[in-house]
Amino acid sequence: MNAGLDDHGRLLSGTVVRSRAGRDRGHIYIVINDSGGERVIVSDGAKRGLMHTKKKNRKHLRVVGCALPASAFDDAMKNTPCMRERDTMIRKLLKPFRQTEIDEL
């Protein structure tokens, strides 16, 4: 089983991905939901917060790592009552991945 994927090939929530195509190419997101279709719902906690999530084609995403295990990410989202706090949590989870992206350039 690949990191960030379940037994059916779906991306797990909490998986960090990088956009490979589109005008947001190279942007880092966290997977919010993958229902198994072509599209995956992602968020970055800033421009694309939970109120304005983005649907990305699965083949335009590359797995970078895992911010939290899927169950821990889902629990953290349920236990945080406010959308703004959830967006802040997502930004904090993505910060180390953005830093490594800057270091690679």
Could you give all domains of the chain from N- to C-terminal order, each with its CATH number?
Answer: 15-104 (2.30.30)
Instruction: Walk across the sheet containing 54-57 and list its strands.
Output: 54-57, 39-43, 28-33, 15-19, 61-66
Per-residue DSSP letter, 61: E
The model's pTM is 0.84
35's CB contacts (< 8 A; 6+ apart) are 10
Number of H helices, E strands in the chain: 2, 5
Pairwise CA distance, residues 3 & 23, whole Å: 26
What tens digit of pLDDT does each residue of 12-66 get?
A: 888 999 999 989 999 999 999 988 789 999 999 999 999 999 999 999 999 998 8
Pairwise CA distance, residues 28 & 15, whole Å: 11
6's CB contacts (< 8 A; 6+ apart) are 12, 70
pLDDT confidence bin for 100, thresholds 50/70/90:
low
